């Protein structure tokens, strides 16, 4: 079984040489090789999720000197804090290498699920460049993995709140 394609979600992908990337045999999308998004140029990430019948949550994680900091909001609750350099680096590596975020589609939309969550991820890069991903009613194939790495980063800080919104 191959790696899950970040575009179509199918696991019929094979590793390509020489760049170490993958190619989906079904949708013919290539990903994970020399993507334009490198963790060294990421300066901040903002996640906004507005689920149905549940309080919305937002999370901003940004570089702060050698380390990083976060600002998390869930309903009326707000938490802020610092993130160690090792955790920040691990988080960025997971985004780029495990979740293949550089290969996500800019928009995920499901007309049949219009009552589903509305979400947005904005990534600020060096030199004020911005990459955004949005969705209405559906999530990218790697959404569960993204939620897992966010929970791992904040396992001791943001407790008792379900951020999956699925």
- The model's pLDDT over 84-126, given as tens digits with 9 standing for 90+, comes to 889 999 999 999 889 999 899 999 988 765 567 899 999 999 8
Chosen CATH of 36-153 out of 3.60.20.30, 3.30.1560.10, 3.40.50.80, 3.30.70.100:
3.30.1560.10
Looking up tokens 């949005």 gives: 134
Q: What is the pTM of this model?
A: 0.83
Q: Using pLDDT thresholds of 50, 70 and 90, give the confidence band for residue 166.
A: very low
Looking up tokens 């499901």 gives: 110
- The model's pLDDT over 32-73, given as tens digits with 9 standing for 90+, comes to 876 667 788 999 999 999 887 778 889 999 998 888 999 999
- What is the Cα–Cα distance from 93 to 82, expressed in whole angstroms? 18
- The model's pLDDT over 25-38, given as tens digits with 9 standing for 90+, comes to 888 888 887 666 77
Question: Residue 146: what pLDDT?
Answer: 92
Question: Residue 101: what pLDDT?
Answer: 92
Give the 3-state secondary structure of residue 111: helix
Q: Which long-range contacts (CB under 8 A, 24 or more apart) does 74-81 make?
A: 74/158, 74/161, 74/163, 77/161, 79/157, 79/158, 81/157
Among candidate residues 103, 96, 93, 88, the one with its CA nearest the CA of residue 133: 103
- What is the Cα–Cα distance from 31 to 20, expressed in whole angstroms? 9
Two structure tokens written together for 27 = 């949708």
Domain definitions of the chain by residue range = 1-34, 36-153
């Amino acid at each position: 079984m191959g790696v899950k394609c970040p575009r179509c979600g199918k696991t019929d992908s094979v590793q390509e040489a020489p760049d170490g990337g993958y190619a989906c045999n079904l949708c013919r999308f290539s990903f994970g090789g020399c993507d334009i998004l490198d963790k060294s140029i990421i300066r901040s990430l903002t996640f906004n999720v507005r689920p149905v019948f549940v309080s919305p949550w937002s999370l901003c994680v940004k570089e702060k000197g050698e380390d990083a900091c976060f600002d998390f909001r869930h309903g009326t609750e707000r938490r802020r804090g610092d993130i160690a350099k090792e955790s920040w680096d691990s988080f960025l590596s997971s985004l780029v290498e495990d979740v293949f975020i550089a290969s996500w589609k800019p928009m995920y939309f499901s007309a049949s699920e219009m009552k589903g969550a509305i979400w947005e991820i904005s990534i600020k890069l060096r030199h004020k460049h911005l990459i955004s991903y949005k969705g209405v009613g559906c999530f990218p194939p790697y959404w569960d993995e993204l939620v897992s790495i966010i929970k791992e980063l904040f396992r001791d800080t943001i407790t008792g709140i379900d951020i999956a919104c699925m």
